[in-house]
Amino acid sequence: MSDDNPFGHSITAEDIIDTLGFFDTWEERYKYIIDLGKELPPMPDALHTEDRLIRGCQSKVWIEPAFNGNKLEFLMDSDAFIVKGLLGVVLAAYNNQTAQHILDFDIEAYFAELDLLQHLSSARGNGLKAMVARIQAIAADAA
């Protein structure tokens, strides 16, 4: 799965923090986040199933975890451009990491450093939290 997924490989949480810091306005940051979503590897339509849907998201979001050695890899997709970008932000922190790293990573501090949650609608913020909770649950099951 990792061959075509830059998140957690060439695009890390630190990269997202650094890059977003270059932009002066949230309009520019949103554009960057949407562009991040274009970097997500495509998810085959066959994986767009009910059991892969993340509940609590306003848009449809699908997740397919897999192990690459002792690291978790996530294939994720959404039907909304901004959500695909948010998936990129989350995957930069969580993809290609051990289950323990995922559980130990301070996602709240990461989002605070990005100043992200204040700039999302409450529905999008809740969806983002649902994505994080699902990934953390997968990591907890794997740990």
Read out DSSP for 91-120? HHHHTTEEHHHHHHS-HHHHHHHHT-GGGS
Residues annotated as part of the active site: 57
Instruction: Indicate the SS3 state at residue 61.
Output: strand
Whole-number Å distance between alpha carbons of 24 and 105: 27
Q: For residue 23, which phi and psi values (nearest 5 degrees)?
A: -85, 140
Q: Which of 139, 136, 126, 45 lies closest to 86, judged by CA? A: 126
